[in-house]
Structure 1
Amino acid sequence: MFNQPETYNPANCMKHQKQNKTNEDSLSRSEIKSEQTGIPDRLKSGIEGLSGYSLDDVKVHCNSPRPELLKGHAHAQDKEIQKTETEPADVSGEPLHPVQEEHAKVNPFPVLVTDRLILRQFQETDIESVYYGLSHPEVIKHYGVHYNSLSATWEQIAWFKKIEKEETGIWWAVCDRHHHTFLGAVGFNNWNKENRKIEMGYWLLPEFWGSGMIKEAAQPACSYAFKNMRVHRIEAFVETENKNSKKVLNQLDFEFEGTMKDCEIKDEQFISLEIYAKLNIK
């Protein structure tokens, strides 16, 4: 027996039309923008639920000339979202910026600036520069960390993030202030909070040696450790043959405290380390 084909029924047609209209009304209500913020309610509640931050004091400003000046369709700064159009549909990414800024206020990374340098947080885009530095024969000659491949260098990038998250240290990418060229690194690890001491390290790409860059970078870093991390003692362990590093420490007013003879093995040879320290004497 053949199935009877469905016949046209005006009543069924009206029923489907009403259902579609109901669905459209439901969708439009879910996309209604908040009168207070100008952000679609569903988008607003979704971001608030995921981030834990309230967007009640964020405001969308339509028909703003600001985005066009920045060659965009929307621009967010602080708690203000500027957009060129009148409809809120294309601001889906912008409410995240106030959330990110609120998160940064809770746990901001300290960016340090000098006359020539900017010390910033390491980014994944620094991987090639870090690999170049920590595979260069002149850099790793007296440095305890080195890598043989770009992929292996991700371990160092992960380490920077790890010590920052665990609050056992902090390292900065040292860059040219005006051209943002990557120059090297400076930072602290092995933070002993109980005894208020920390270990300092640094390295610089060879093409910038002799320029005073490490001294200029280490000065604000040490000041940050003393003032913001409440460290009393900064230690540095230097291979006895590393004359350039010892020169920098002397310029930074670190005091030589002694030599640990044959305390480590490097390249199947015993090496000796000299201990330098700087105290926060007020």
Structure 2
Amino acid sequence: MRIRTFSTVDAQPTLPALQWDLAFHGDAVDVRGRAALAMLKAATKQQIPCGYDIRGSRTLQLNGAKTTRKELAAQLKPAQQVLLEATTLGFVELLHLLRAAHDQRVEGVDLLYVEPQEYRRDVTLDTPWIREFSLSASRRFEGVQGFVTDLSLFETRPGRFVTFLGYEGARLVQAYEQLGGLTQWRKYAIFGIPGYAPGWEINALANNVASLEQHKFDSVQYCPASAVSGAYRLLESIFSEGGGEVPMIVAPLGTKPHGIATALFLIEHASYQETSLVYDHPERSLNRSQQVRRWHLYRVKFDYR
């Protein structure tokens, strides 16, 4: 798999002048989402709204209608130029769409992501130092069809638990409240450092350090917050430590680029329950961020040899 990254130096969308046959997108909840959808409208022949029905069928929906894996695959053709608008799409939607493109042997997929200039924070005049952010409403952790591992199969063969971490420390707390059987597993935490802006990494570190100490994480590692290729290589490196013979669970609780890397990694290694996913399906808050910082275009080329 090859991943190339094109990034702007500022808020102007000066990315390669490309046109796409087909684009999938979610709902815009803030300014950067609306800016991304405006670009899609100008640069794509067909746009399809996409969402994951977490409250009902636990399936992907296209244009508001329940869609099977086969129906989704039928939307994709190997010769198409496909764009996934990752600013507005959630992690689970990206995972399903990337898997469908891989199953259909699409040569490659582009992913667009727009960084926020600033995240919304819960702060008052009395507590200007507070590091709580209004980014999402969390839900229970539960599996995603096709990426679930039965942990009871590995009671005598502990594996590796890897989590990308962001501002919302409560998500890791909730993961441990719900997930049992990870005590003997080797545990890795990955932070987005450098962050999108200088000093942002302090928020993620401060909001998660107590949980890392409590649950005795074996390794804390770092990867730039906007790096898909770097995060993908890091996952591959951790996986190779076990020689591919021990299970590995990934919890993408950090940045969207790290979530994209997680999805690509899972697609490559999901067979025979060697890797799996734990995820809490957060609901993004309205106006969770302010303005646009930078634009990124990630170009993924699959290797089918």
Check whether TM > 0.5.
no
TM-score, normalised by the number of residues in structure 2: 0.22
Structure with the larger RCO, 1 or 2 (CA within 8 Å, 6+ apart): 2
TM-score, normalised by the number of residues in structure 1: 0.23
Structure number with the higher helix fraction is 1
